[in-house]
Amino acid sequence: MNTFYYYRRLIGSAPWSWCGDLGGITLSVLFETIPGLLAREFFNGLSGAAPARLNLSTIIVLLVLLRLPWVLSIVALSMTSTTFVYTAGALLRTNMFRHILHRPGAQALPASPGEAISRFREDVDETLWDLIRFNDLVSFMVFAIVGFAIMVRTNILITIAVFLPLVLVTLLTQQVRRRLESYRAASRASTGDVTGFLGEILGAAQAVQVAGKEDSVVRRFSHLSEQRRTAGLRDKLFSQLLESISTNTVNLGTAVILLFAAQQMKTGRFTVGDFALFVYYLGRISDFTSLFGVLLARYRQAGISFARMVTLLKGAFPGDLVAARPVYTRGPFPTIPQPVRVPHEQLQRLEVLGLSFHYPSSGHGIDDVDLDLPAGSFTVITGRIGSGKTTFLRTLLGLLPAERGHIRWNDQPVSDPATFFVPPHSAYTPQVPRLFSDTLKDNLLLGLDETGVDLQQALSLAVLEDDLRQMPAGLDTVVGTRGVRLSGGQIQRAAAARMFVRDAELLVFDDLSSALDVEVEAQLWERLFARHHQVPVTCLVVSHRRAALRRADQIIVLRDGRVVARGRLDDLLASSLDMQQLWASGDRHAGAEQQQAEHENL
């Protein structure tokens, strides 16, 4: 896909805004041709070189009247251009975000989050504002055509000289095209590196302090910043140099034209009014030639930006970047579908056969893991750090792409776990939960209609009532970036409440209780099991905690990505060395697992 294809599709996403902007800017620029004609009449009348067809009063009135539609068109342009840029930008960002969310969660981004943010922000904004500037180019070209026709009728030789700089600028831009593209790509990549590094460090400041690596982080940041400065300076300097050459080439041509016009005036074939007309028109025509060179270079750079955005689609059809879909810039907005249990899809049995996945970078993973999960059961997956527990859950839920294996829900194959294992089928709380910098209520609901869910019951199940009473704003408390204003236990219980409020058939916990004290954890399991007597719920839990192991109907022990034992607690304590060692280490192992998870997250 070339740049023209993307631009054409983007124009189609908001045609009225783009056409309104093009029509408005063209009309406003066309109004600028009239003052030049009036200036010719005025100076011809003063010099007596030609008869004046308009008196001074008439010229002044016409100039004043011309300002009114010009001002109105400029006001309208501010609305049409902004509407187009934000509508087309929303389309690009929606399509990129849509593909990111439809990929396995653990492999959604080809680079760091900061690099992705750079593509969402700088690449989108610059390409769209450059597209709007193409409307300016078209309007200047229309002015140049009209002016060219008027100037040809006045003096054809001088008119031809006006357009020679355009040819020079075009040839120059073509010669430096590849260098422009390479400098822009390097500048964008270095910006993404800095943004990504900042995002990671700000999200893990405590871990950096605990490790005593502040100096190393500062040195790394300084190194990345210097790389960004060098690449950005090279990109900006080269672009500005090209723009300067374009502008000064035009100015040099203008000087030659004015000297040539002076010679023509001596012979009487060029009047003072004609000279005033040419001087006025040359300003706009020089704008056209200069902008032509600049936008030709920007067009090349836009190709780099589109290529960077396409990489976020991870192998999808490049045209999906600009695929048409509704963009809601004003209400009413579409309703968010509410998860509702379907009777014939109610969980009876979940079967997993031979599930396998390996990380490409290390080769570690899981091999041939089987699982039989009856409805209403409480199954615990346990094992030492690095045994594959979290990897198994992520592969089961479609957050990692399985290499082989089968998953069946009520004897029906699950072909796409990533789209199937969502509410109302299942809900998931990861080992390191993510909260957004928003209110606690919005973090729990994530768009759900509060009237359609039992939020208070979810808070009770997650043992959050006492914490809420201590928050002055209650559910309207803003939790900060990644929940920084909450404790580790509050973050995990908030994530659990977010899961409970969705009333899913299958609840998947990845070491939920690792940041909870023993009393709070006991309360959470007691409340969940008390509700189980009213509404049966199926739980798949990764845990080392004794409270969870005692309640388990089935325990699966993993070692090096393989199942080495399964059964109830008493049987495993009698027959499995791994289970005996895990039980002996007790709840201390859970804390180490949480620290390991946070380290891997960093």
Q: If you average pLDDT over every residue of the chain, what do you get?
A: 84
What pLDDT does residue 149 have?
86
Predicted confidence at residue 166, as pLDDT, reads 62
What pLDDT, in 10s, does the model give residues 29-76? Answer: 888 888 888 888 787 777 665 565 667 778 778 777 777 777 777 788
- Rounded Cα distance between 407 and 413, Å, is 6
Order of strands across the sheet with 404-409? Answer: 365-374, 349-358, 404-409, 412-413
Model confidence at 135: pLDDT above 60: yes
Q: Considering the domain 3-322 in this protein, what is its CATH number?
A: 1.20.1560.10
Residue partners of 255: CB distance under 8 A and separation at least 6: none
Beta-carbon contacts of 586 under 8 Å, excluding residues fewer than 6 positions away, are: 546
Tokens in use for 95? 């399509």
Q: Note the pLDDT tens digit of each residue in 239-267.
A: 787 777 766 666 666 676 667 777 777 77
Q: CA 574: distance to chain centroid?
A: 53
Per-residue pLDDT at 427: 95
SS (H, E, C) 376-419: CCEEEEEECCCCCHHHHHHHHCCCCCCCEEEEEECCEECCCHHH
Average pLDDT over residues 562-578: 95
Q: What is the pLDDT of residue 249?
A: 64
pLDDT at 48: 63
| 159 pLDDT more than 90 | no
CA atoms of 571 and 109, how far apart (whole Å): 44
Average pLDDT estimate for 478-493: 86
Which 8-state DSSP code applies to residue 44? H
Given a cut of 70, whether residue 174 has pLDDT beyond it is no
Strands, sheet with 506-510, edge to edge from the N-terminal-most edge strand: 426-429, 506-510, 538-542, 378-383, 554-559, 562-567
d(CA 60, CA 82): 34
pLDDT given for residue 153 in this prediction: 83
Provide the β-strand partners of residue 567: 555
Residue 208's pLDDT band (cuts 50, 70, 90): confident
Which pLDDT score is estimated for 50? 58
Give the pLDDT confidence of 496-544 residue by residue, as tens digits. 999 999 989 999 999 887 677 888 888 898 998 888 777 788 999 999 8
Mean pLDDT calculated for residue range 261-275: 74
Give yes or no for a contact between 594 and 431, defined as CB atoms under 8 angstroms apart.
yes
pLDDT digits (tens, 9 = 90+) for 412-462: 999 999 889 999 999 999 988 889 989 999 999 998 888 888 999 999 999
Is residue 204 scored above 70 in pLDDT?
Answer: yes
Angle at 32 between CA 27 and CA 38, to 5 degrees: 135
Q: What is the mean pLDDT of residues 130-157?
A: 86
pLDDT for res 554: 95
| CA dist 505 → 55, 156, 453, 531 (Å) | 87, 82, 15, 13
The two structure tokens encoding residue 353: 């056969």
Average pLDDT over residues 21-27: 88
Neighbours of 283 (CB within 10 A): 11
Q: What is the pLDDT of residues 276-331, one digit of tens each?
A: 787 788 777 777 777 777 787 788 889 889 998 998 888 789 999 999 998 887 77
pLDDT at 601: 45
Q: Give the residue with greater pLDDT, 357 vs 487.
A: 357
Of all residues in the chain, the percent with pLDDT exceeding 90 is 34
Helix (H, G, I), strand (E, B) or coil at 362: coil
Q: What is the mean pLDDT of residues 187-196?
A: 81
Of the ranges 162-166, 345-349, 492-496, 526-530, which one carries the lowest mean pLDDT score?
162-166
540: phi then psi, degrees, rounded to nearest 5: -120, 115
pLDDT score for 599: 44
pLDDT of residue 458: 93
Of the pLDDT bands very low, low, confident and very high (cuts 50, 70, 90), residue 595 is very low
